[in-house]
Amino acid sequence: MSVTPLPALPIEQLRQRSSTKWRKYPADVLPLFVAETDFALAPAITTALARAVELGDTGYTPPDPGIRDAYAAFARRRFGWEVDPRNIRTTCDVMMGVVEILRAVTTPGDRVIVTPPVYPPFYDCIPEAGAVVDRVPLVQTASGWELDLPGIEAALARGARAVLLCNPHNPTGTAHSREALAALAEIAATHGAVVVSDEIHAPLVQPDAAFTPFLAASATAARVGYTVTSASKAFNLAGLKCALMVTADPGTRGVIDGLPDEIEWRTGLFGALAGVAAFAPESDAWLDSLLVRLDENRRLLAELLDTHVPSARYRIPDAGFLAWVDLSALGWGDNPAARILRDAKVALHFGPHFGDEGRGHVRVNFGCDPDVLREAIARIGALAAS
């Protein structure tokens, strides 16, 4: 049975929102930068939040708001991954979970590997945990972006103690293969290191790409790994504050269980309620519809760039609603998004924020109406032609 693409809300309605996407820039700017999407919430989420407001259910988050069981069922249904709910603790958001895990498994001054170009907060959360960033860039091959496993092994041999993985990767949209993840786990185990995997974009992996949770990649991955995830990206819930820290081994579970209770108290009640609704079977149809829309948009973007900005280089992502686009050939400097914002009135994420590998690049949020995407790329094309 065919699935209808999820329609975006009218831009006039979206401009009534008070979130960063719609308040950072003036109304003449098309915002395709921060990772917020332009769709109505899944109906089950709207119902859950409306009921909570009606009840005045705005107090403290209980010890078990139901999200552990909801996520375990979601992971089984969507990923074929068996998660023990007892191996899950909640916190405020994914980056907070990453920081607290890194604090627990490293000592001040330890090096933590990142794989740029990568989500900019990675560069901040590692120092927040008392560690030092160790860069091992992704490798771009004919078939896609890949982890530099020999480079990671060399960094671990030099003394790095952890790898902060992004799976699926932001900004390239790469869903790392099971083989690469299993190899990474073996390398980490050999050097007595751990892997912390940010899997916030996992629900948005397209059907033509396989998603492998790091903890499910192998028995060794289960032993050395920690996953931090949330419903916030797929279901547009970033403001509600709820993330999950997941383990698959008694040793790593002991680390998570040993974190201070205050870390779990930071979970937002509305975030937990919305997460339960998002991970429920009732929201699967909405998510499937979103995936179809994003599939169409990721391919539309390739067509639009080919028409309006033919010198751009863009690889269609495996997952998510974020596109990594190389505009170096336009000669607009290290940060082409700055000129695009100023002269085309389109806000894109600044490429250099993702690391040195982001020079000349932009990140485009295509989680929007196709007509908004058409207008944005046409504006950039007109600027390139001027």
Contact 345, 334 (CB under 8 A): no
**pLDDT level of residue 146 (50, 70, 90 thresholds):** very high
Cis peptide leading into residue 168 (ω within 30°): yes
Cis peptide leading into residue 63 (ω within 30°): no
Average pLDDT over residues 270-276: 98
**pLDDT level of residue 28 (50, 70, 90 thresholds):** very high
Which residue bears the tokens 């998603």? 211
With a cut of 90, say whether residue 219 has pLDDT above it. Answer: yes
Q: Could you tell me what percentage of the chain is helix, strand and coil, using 3-state DSSP and rounding each to the nearest 5?
A: 50, 15, 35
Average pLDDT over residues 367-383: 98
pTM: 0.97
Q: What percent of the chain has pLDDT over 70?
A: 100
Render pLDDT for 246-267 as a digit per residue (tens, 0 to 9).
999 999 999 999 999 999 999 9
Average pLDDT over residues 292-315: 98
**pLDDT level of residue 280 (50, 70, 90 thresholds):** very high
Residues 6+ apart with CB under 8 A from 63: none
For the chain, counts of helices (H) and of strands (E): 16, 14
- Other CB atoms within a 10 A radius of the CB of residue 186 amount to 16
Render pLDDT for 331-342 as a digit per residue (tens, 0 to 9).
999 999 999 999
**pLDDT level of residue 225 (50, 70, 90 thresholds):** very high
Can you give the pLDDT at residue 75?
98
For residue 148, what is the DSSP state? -
Average pLDDT over residues 32-61: 98
Can you give the pLDDT at residue 143?
87
Can you give the pLDDT at residue 299?
98
From the number of C-beta atoms within 10 Å of its C-beta (0-12, 13-18, 19+), residue 310 rates as: exposed
Residues 6+ apart with CB under 8 A from 180: 146, 147, 149
Average pLDDT over residues 216-228: 98
With a cut of 80, say whether residue 1 has pLDDT above it. Answer: no
Residue-wise over 19-36: b if at least 16 C-beta within 10 A, else e?
eebbeebeeeebbbbebb
Average pLDDT over residues 187-214: 98
Render pLDDT for 151-170 as a digit per residue (tens, 0 to 9).
999 999 999 999 999 999 99
Can you give the pLDDT at residue 371?
98
With a cut of 90, say whether residue 359 has pLDDT above it. Answer: yes
